Amino acid sequence: MRNDGYRKAYEDAASELEGILKDQERIEERILSLRKTMNALATLICQHEGRDKDFTDYAAATLR
């Protein structure tokens, strides 16, 4: 009988982990999408302002 409690706790933990891993994948995809967007926008900003700096120069200054 005691094993049933352990099994239930294990199944609950496995289910929660599965959900969290799906959330993590969704969040990582969103992070990548935002980084790509920021890269493109930073390039446009630098071109518009006539700068010779690249994305990392711009991003380093704005993300501090």
Contact 58, 42 (CB under 8 A): yes
34, two tokens: 């935002």
**Residue 38: partners with Cβ closer than 8 Å, 6 or more residues away:** 55, 59
| Termini Cα distance of the chain | 56
2-59: per-residue pLDDT in tens? 789 999 999 999 999 999 999 999 999 999 999 899 888 888 888 887 776 666 666 6
CA dihedral 19→22→23→28, nearest 10 degrees, is 160
At residue 43, the pLDDT reads: 84
**Model-level pTM?**
0.65
